[in-house]
Amino acid sequence: MPDPAATPRRVDGSMSLLVDMTEAALDPAYADAARRRSERLTRPERPNGSGRRTPLLRAVTLLTLLGVLTGVAAAQVRRSADAAGAVRRSLVADVQRQTKETDQLAAQADALRAQVAQARDKGLGDDASGRALAARVAALELATGQTGVKGPGLVVTLNDAQNANSGVGNGRGGQLGDDRIYDRDLQDVANALWAAGAEAISINGQRLTTLTAIRSAGESVLVDFRPLSPPYRLSAVGDVDAMEPAFADSATARRFTTYTSLYGLGFSVRRNADLSLPAAAPPELHAARDANTTTGGSP
C-alpha cells in the first residue's frame, strides 16, 4: 500500500526522457563549445603586445643594421683618405727634400764652374792667341746662356685663375678646363719675347737656352725637368723701348689679354730697369777634340 506522505508522482513522469530529448536535443557539452566558438567569432580580438612590438622591432633592427653598415663604410673611406693623404704628404716631403738637395748641388756646381772659368781665363791670358780664345769662349757662353746677364728688360707674369682649384671654370676655346697656365702658354710667351727682341730670358729663375725644354708632368710645369709653381715670371733682358711695344702688339699678348677678361687668368707686363738672370746649366758634353787638330779631326 503506498505511503500517503510520499511525494506524489508526476503524471508525465514516465515521459521525462522524451521531454528532455525534446527540450534539449543538443548535448550540453556541444552547446557550450558552440557558444564559446560563436563568442570568439563575434567578439573583436584585442591585439596583444607581441603583435604590436613585432613591426617596431623589425624597423629598429633594420635601422641599426643600416647604421652599422654606414659607419663601417664611412670608417673605410676615412681610412682610405687618411692613407692617400699620408702617401701624398710623404711624396711632397720627398720632393721638397730632393729639391733642396738639388739646389745645394746646383750652387756647388756654379761655384766650381766659376773656379774653372777663372783658371781658364788665367791660363789663356798669357798671350794674344790665348786672349782671343778667351774672348771667343765668352761670346759662346753668352750665346748659349752659360753666363749670367744683367740689364733692363720686361717681366711678364702669368698666373692661374682664382677658381683654378674648384674644377668649375670654363676652359679656353669653349673646352672644359681648370683655367690653369700650361706649358704651351709659357712656350708661346717665351717665343713672343724672343721675337720682340729679348736677348736673354728666364722663367722663375730658370734660364732659357736653345736646348731648354718646357713641358708638363701632371699638374706641374717643368723647365729643364725643374718643377715650377705659379705665378710664372718670365724675365727678358733687352732693349725695353723696342721690346715692349713689339710684345704688346703680338698675337700672344692680345690673346692673353682676352683670357684675362674672359676666364680670369693672370697676365701682366711691367718694366724693370735692373734685371739679373742666372746662367743656365751647362750642356751635356757628348764629344770633344783637341783645339790644335784640324776641323775634320776625329773627336
pLDDT of residue 37: 72
pLDDT of residue 219: 75
pLDDT of residue 183: 92
pLDDT of residue 174: 38
pLDDT of residue 172: 45
Hey, is 157 helix, strand or coil?
strand
Stated pTM of the model: 0.59
Reduced 3-state DSSP string for 53-104: HHHHHHHHHHHHHHHHHHHHHHHHHHHHHHHHHHHHHHHHHHHHHHHHHHHH
Phi/psi for 182 (5° steps) reads: -105, 170
- In the chain, which residues have pLDDT < 50? 1-2, 167-176, 296-299
Cell 687668368, located at residue: 265
Residue 145, C-alpha cell as written in the block: 746662356
Task: Give the list of residues 6+ apart from residue 268 with CB closer than 8 angstroms, or none.
Answer: 156, 157
Q: What is the DSSP letter of 245?
A: H
* Cis peptide preceding 245, ω within 30 of 0: no
How confident is the model over 194-250, as pLDDT tens digits?
A: 999 999 999 999 999 888 889 988 778 889 888 888 999 999 999 999 999 999 999
